[in-house]
A = this chain, B = another copy of it.
């Protein structure tokens, strides 16, 4: 297989079409997807494939507007009155999704996590809290932290990269970023990072608290078979990015069953593994951002520099945190 270019890697992760690049293609896809709404909120919260939207069992809490291609969550109490309370709304959603899970309608729900992800409205207000494994069905924006742990050595910069366990539901066996994790409802990015660094890499808290925030990585991914479950699901994501310069004697070790091991690789070794498609797509995306920021990828050595930098920071069309 021909090695992947950096732009190929970007396009594997950020693979939803851009309106600015191809308005017709964008519009065709946009018109095909169902749009997920919460009653009372004017913003579209996510895109759903027709195959998914049309399979959701309709109850009093849901309305499928086929004309406008909208799936609307309209939580109702026992008197059929709208429920506007945040916790009650989430309870209704949780109970409903549990019911859908038991009916085995969707493959991705077999990876049930018992963890809730936040969904925000146009004024950054928390609108909903949704079981993590269900988020790609609704195509809502999810949040995470990604940290690159690196060491300055006599041979130049080296990067700590784990291999994902073969038992992982998503992207088993692929290479990953030093530490990454999803942000649950109510969790702050930096605290999430400290927790994940302890759980996944056994890194001490005092070291992790020296990590530097460096921005966000945003992309709009459409899932293929490597993600497991249904394909074509929309996964717009926002990753809070951190760099951790590590002393040579800080050795990450798998602290849970997420990783097989950690390897300390040179930049060239990381780039080769990326070109061979061995990194999980959004991790390759993050590493490109790291390389841009550290002057490893530059206008002088990367012909697609401008295109790559902008696509590492996509403006999502949904409300965000």
Contacts from A to B (Cβ < 8 Å): 18-21, 124, 188-190, 212-216, 218, 238, 240, 292-295, 298-300, 303, 305-307, 309-317, 320-321
B20 with A316: CB separation less than 8 A: yes
Which 6 A-B residue pairs are closest in the complex by CB-CB distance? A313-B313, A20-B317, A212-B295, A213-B298, A310-B315, A213-B295
Q: Which residues of the partner chain B approach A18 to less than 8 Å between Cβ atoms?
A: 315
Contact B313 A310 (CB under 8 A): yes
In the assembled complex, which residues on chain B have CB atoms less than 8 Å from the CB atom of A218? Answer: 306, 309-310
Neighbour of A306 across the interface among B299, B300, B306, B320, CB < 8 A: B320
Inter-chain CA distance A19–B18, complex, in Å, is: 10
Nearest B residue to A313 via CB reads B313
* Bound Cα distance A312, B19 (Å): 19
**Given A19-B20, A215-B292, CB of A310 within 8 Å of CB of B314:** yes
From the candidates B20, B188, B215, B300, name the one contacting A315 in the complex (CB within 8 A). B20
- The reply to whether B240 and A299 contact each other, CB–CB distance below 8 Å, is yes
Closest Cβ neighbor of A14 among chain B residues: B315
Q: Which residues of B contact A299 (CB under 8 A)?
A: 188-190, 213, 216, 240
A321 CB contacts on chain B under 8 angstroms? 306
A303, B321: Cα distance in complex, Å: 8
Which residues of chain B come closer than 8 Å to A303, judged between CB atoms? 124
Residues of chain B contacted by A295 (CB below 8 angstroms): 212-214
B293 and A215 contact, CB distance less than 8 A: yes
Residue of B nearest to A20 (CB): B317
- CB of B320 within 8 A of CB of A316, answer no
- Find A216's partner among B190, B213, B310, B314 (CB 8 Å cutoff): B310
CB distance A309 to B19 under 8 Å? no
- A190 and B298 alpha carbons, distance in the complex (Å): 10
Q: Which residue of B lies closest to A238 (CB)?
A: B306
Cα distance, A299 to B190, chains bound together (Å): 9
